[in-house]
Chain A
Amino acid sequence: MRTGPTGKLLRRDVVAELLRDRGGLLAIGGLGAPAWDITAAGDVPENLPLWGGMGAAAMMGLGLALAQPSRPVAVITGDGEMLMGIGSLATIAVQRPRNLAIIVLDNEHYGETGMQETATRHGVDLAAMARGAGIGDCRLVRTAEEVTFLREAIHAGTGPIFAQVKIDEAPVPLVLPPREASILQARMREAVLGPAAHLQ
Chain B
Amino acid sequence: MPDAAEDWPDEIYGLLKEHDIRQVALVPDAGHSRLIKRCLADNDMRVVTLTTEEEGIGMLFGAWLGGEKGVLLMQSSGVGNCINMLSVPIAHRTPLPMIVTMRGDYGEFNPFQVPMGNATQQVLEAMGTLVKRADAPEDVAPTVNATLRMAFNTYRPTATLIGQRVIGAKTFGK
Task: Spell out A's residues near B (CB within 8 Å).
Answer: 26, 28, 48, 51-68, 85, 87-88, 90-91, 94-95, 181-182, 184-185, 188-189, 192-193, 197, 200
Assess whether A52 is in contact with B87, with CB atoms less than 8 Å apart: yes
Q: Does B14 contact A (CB under 8 A)?
A: no
- A85-B50 Cα distance, complex, nearest whole Å: 11
- A107-B152 Cα distance, complex, nearest whole Å: 39
Residues of B within 8 A of A90 (CB): 51
Residues of A within 8 A of B68 (CB): 63, 66-67
Residues of B within 8 A of A51 (CB): 91
Q: How far is the CB of B23 from chain A (nearest CB, A)?
A: 6
Some 23 contacts from A to B, beta carbons below 8 A apart, are A51-B91, A53-B61, A59-B55, A59-B58, A60-B65, A61-B62, A63-B62, A63-B65, A64-B63, A64-B65, A66-B46, A67-B62, A87-B51, A88-B50, A88-B51, A88-B58, A91-B51, A181-B91, A182-B93, A185-B94, A189-B64, A189-B65, A200-B67
- A11-B57 Cα distance, complex, nearest whole Å: 28
Q: Name the contact of A193 in the complex, choosing from B48, B67, B91, B93 (C-beta under 8 A).
A: B67
Interface size class on chain B is 20 to 34
Assess whether A63 is in contact with B60, with CB atoms less than 8 Å apart: yes
10 additional A-B pairs beyond A26-B66, A62-B48, beta carbons within 8 Å, are: A26-B65, A53-B87, A60-B65, A63-B63, A64-B62, A66-B46, A66-B66, A67-B62, A91-B50, A189-B65
Assess whether B22 is in contact with A67, with CB atoms less than 8 Å apart: yes
- A173-B81 Cα distance, complex, nearest whole Å: 34
Assess whether A63 is in contact with B70, with CB atoms less than 8 Å apart: yes
Residues of B within 8 A of A91 (CB): 48-51, 55
Q: How far is the CB of B151 from chain A (nearest CB, A)?
A: 12
Assess whether A63 is in contact with B23, with CB atoms less than 8 Å apart: yes
Q: How far is the CB of B166 from chain A (nearest CB, A)?
A: 29
Q: How far is the CB of B127 from chain A (nearest CB, A)?
A: 13
Residues of A within 8 A of B50 (CB): 88, 91
Assess whether A192 is in contact with B55, with CB atoms less than 8 Å apart: no
Q: Does B54 contact A (CB under 8 A)?
A: yes
- A189-B69 Cα distance, complex, nearest whole Å: 13
